[in-house]
Amino acid sequence: MDEGFEVLTLIQTGKSVPMPIVFIDSPQGDYWKQWQAYVKDQLLARGLIGEADLNLYKITSSVDEAVDEVRHFYSNYHSIRHTRDEVVMRLHQEISDVQLAEIQKNFADLCLTGAYRRSAPLSVEKDEPALANLHRLVFNFNRRDHGRLRMLIDHLNDLIPHSPIS
């Protein structure tokens, strides 16, 4: 539990890059469900976290579902880089004009100013030539809504076909 809170705090405050976090319970176990009840009753109810922050993790008792969560997290999303004013999300597949407009509409709250845009590699990424082939989504992130940022990552991953582990 201590390590779980620690990594969630680092991600929620932007001190760590987004990553999949999966709490695996034993079959018919309720340890993590009780933990989540505490999070909702004590942290969410008191306004110490936001509803979107609950998207930073997944609770399951299935190892296959846990593996699927990790694979899905990286199915389109590759990585993120912060520049002075912007966030650069690197993606395996380019997003269309229609998808870009949908992101602008549904995730406008994440942009401090301006709009989302596709981009070639930025000059600040010249130290990462191995990532030059990836597509980019660039925007001026408000640097506070990391739960919503995770929701954007999930949305970007949902844009491509996804098949769970069989």
Write down the pTM of the prediction: 0.92
State whether residue 124 is helix, strand or coil.
Answer: helix
State which H helix or E strand residue 98 sits in: helix 97-106
Beta bridge partners of 90: 79, 136
Q: Which residues fall within 8 angstroms of residue 123, CB to CB, at 6 or more apart?
A: none
State which H helix or E strand residue 36 sits in: helix 31-38
Specify burial of residue 52 (Cβ count, 10 A radius: 0-12, 13-18, 19+): middle
Q: Residue 70 has which token pair?
A: 């990790």
pLDDT tens for the chain, residues 1 to 166: 899 999 999 999 999 999 999 999 999 999 999 999 999 999 999 999 999 999 999 999 999 999 999 999 999 999 999 998 899 999 999 999 999 999 999 999 999 999 999 999 999 999 999 999 999 999 999 999 999 999 999 999 999 876 555 4
